[in-house]
A = this chain, B = another copy of it.
Amino acid sequence: MTFVLAVDDDPAILRTLSINLRARGYDVETAGDGRSALQIVQERMPDVVILDLGLPDLDGVAVLKRLRSHAQVPVVVLSARHESDDKVEALDEGADDYVTKPFDMEELLARVRAAIRRTGGDGAPFVVEVGDVRLDITERQATRNGEEVRLTPTEWHIVEVLARREGRLVRQAELLHEVWGPGYDRETNYLRVFLAQLRRKLEADPARPTLFITDPGIGYRLVV
């Protein structure tokens, strides 16, 4: 399981990061300051670090240096828009990538994935293969009979949640909650629409699905 360390002084941001990363199957640790971040690193080397620059104790760049001094762990830097100088400095110092606050979660996740991939990953490529369909979750690449199939972000998100529990049941409310967030727990028509789209794109016979199975009244599952 990929291990991600998130470092930020704002607990709210740590929280959202934590939730979103965990929801995508990462193992997450958080740190509110540079000191504890370095401590965690010493205990267990992360596969990627998400690092805010504005920390209460050490400077973010200092943390970055210390990290780099004896490890090649990829670092994605978070920075407020106005700290442009720091940003440059951070990149100089070896940050792999950066995202400016306020950031879009999808974008950050994409960068995290990219950072992991660039360093060879932790050897946890996440691929589901069924018949002539191949779903590479980490790379976000879907093929059918070798031909590429384009999936929209929402479609990917659904596939991801289902694939993480391959074969097992995912309840409607749960799926809605994971993909659309809280408050959408009852919008089951979304599921109907998107599952239909996924089937049209991926199933041999969309009317007789073999991949995306419906458990009427309960939820869906991805059969492998």
Contacts and interface: CB of A to CB of B under 8 A. Distances in A.
A93 interface: yes
A218 B140 contact: yes
Interface in A64-106: 68, 88, 92-94, 96-100, 104, 106
A119 to B, nearest CB: 9
A168 interface: yes
B152 A217 contact: yes
A174 B104 CA distance: 12
B140 A215 contact: yes
B16 A110 contact: no
Interface stretch (A51-59, A177-185, A194-202): A177-185
Contact of A104 (B118, B169, B173, B216): B173
Interface in A38-60: none
A127 interface: no
A182 B92 contact: yes
Nearest to A14: B93
Given A88-B183, A169-B139, A173-B107, A153 B15 contact: no
Given A92-B181, A110-B173, A141-B169, 19 more contacts: A11-B94, A12-B93, A12-B94, A15-B93, A16-B92, A16-B93, A19-B96, A22-B118, A92-B182, A97-B177, A97-B182, A99-B185, A100-B182, A104-B173, A107-B171, A110-B171, A139-B168, A140-B218, A153-B218
Interface of A: 11-12, 15-16, 19, 22, 68, 88, 92-94, 96-100, 104, 106-107, 110-111, 114, 118, 139-141, 152-153, 156, 168-169, 171, 173-174, 177, 181-183, 185, 215-218
